[in-house]
Structure 1
Amino acid sequence: MSLATHVRRRIIVLAAACALSATAWSASASAQTLEAALAAAYINNPTLNSQRAGTRAIDENVPQALSGYRPNISAGVSAGSEYARSKSAGLSTTGTLVPRSANLTVTQTIFNGFLTANTTRNAESQVKGQRELLRNTEQSVLLNGVTAFMDVIQGIALLELQQQNLAALNQELRATRDRFNVGEVTRTDVAQAEARVASAQYQVAQAIANLSSYRAVYHQVIGVEPGKLVPPTTAVERRLPAKLDGVIGAGLTRNPAILASQFA
């Protein structure tokens, strides 16, 4: 089983479980693993849901095309009222007629120049191509989900490092000022320490802005706010092909974008 297939099956199982418990995706969840985040994206992502809807619409083309093989049945019923008056041999008669009729027509196409067969094959080809496009969208969304997940973790780690650096530089600045007060260093040393603190403050502000951006992308892709994210611990290298040729071969034979082009 390929890595992509294995991951996709795991995500579908998780998504089904999460569908039974919507609270699993609340922002207040104590911890969110990568697999849980991808399962949420599989359920919530608007791009993926839109592609699913398009695939369902294309699926309907097949039964519509197959209808060319089936008989057409039409039925009709009519009724009316008619007033009649006649005169014969000096006698006059009147009456009301109520005519009624019903009809049933069944038509069956015997041969239409292979139109139905060709239309059906074309519809089936469109369905196969659309399903590969759906797989391609799934892979793109899941890749974006992994990227968003790891970006948030990286953003949190970088912010913590910048905050620690700022705290250390503030402590250094206080020490430099104390040394300046007793004449051990010059005003230039204090100015340099202040400049380092100002630079660190900017780096902290930049890290906060980056983390806010990462969180926004996470919400857009996954569909929920990031809670306490748990970094993945399982390495994927063991599941990757050992040689580059294997990667290229797998891409040429399994990549859904390439497979979709074969049905265009």
Structure 2
Amino acid sequence: PIIAWDCKTSQEVMIILAIHHLPADNPMQSLLASHIGLKGNCFCQKCYAGGSQEFKQLNEGYDSLFKMGIKDSLADKYQKDLIAQRRMLEGEATASGKDAYTPETVAMITQQQESWLSTQKETIKPLLSDTPAEPLYTVLLGVIKYIWGITCTAIGQTHQLGLLETQLASINTDGLGIPPLCATYLIQYCGGLIGRQFKAIMQTMTFALHDIVSGDILTVWKAAGKVGALLWYPEIMDVEAYLTELSHEIDNLLDDMAIVDPSRIIQKPKFHILLHIVEDIR
């Protein structure tokens, strides 16, 4: 333990630091953060995004899915208790004939609240900042998987999956550091791919989809490719510039996805969770 001096109690204290880093898939992170999970109305363990299905279909609710918030259930609890307590103390001061807003009365009420707060034992914050969004589960097995599903469905309806297979097989992957794409496998088992295959798809689909899908779907893949290139960036020289660009590209991806299939933003929480990656990197 670390020996330190507590200026309030005027005595030495021992501090034991516990550094938490809990990488996991999204359901496990929700469990670790004592969160209801991705199937709950408020599906994000890091903020209060979401609500009922009816609310999320309104302009206000839908717009909230494109924004980050902050969640701290412990701070919320104390904040509500302190506000209610302060109103009660101010009422008592007024009832006793005092002006509740004089400096002396305000100082007295503040001191009473500080004394009460110091007696509270529940001081462990939820592990919200210790559950960073994982690119594997949030991006590859989330966002990219959903876009891939939409794309395969759209191409299947026009009976052009064979053409997609041919164009994927013809892509030169030498500069990507990955082996040639197994196009036949990707198309035959398009519903059962794994992370490394989605990572390869994310980097190459933009070049394989011309004249096969609509311009909106192609635009989504371009945005997804840019986000992927930034997330797997080998070395960040200027963090703030990098995060600004990443945030911009994530916003573009969500906007483009909302054009292709607005309902996916509501149904798939990982599109919103993607927003929190910026702060997790910071």
Is TM more than 0.5 here? no
TM-score, normalised on structure 1?
0.26
Higher relative CO (Cα under 8 Å, sequence separation at least 6) belongs to: 1
Between structures 1 and 2, the one with greater strand share = 1
Greater fraction of residues in helix: 1
Larger radius of gyration between Structure 1 and Structure 2: 1
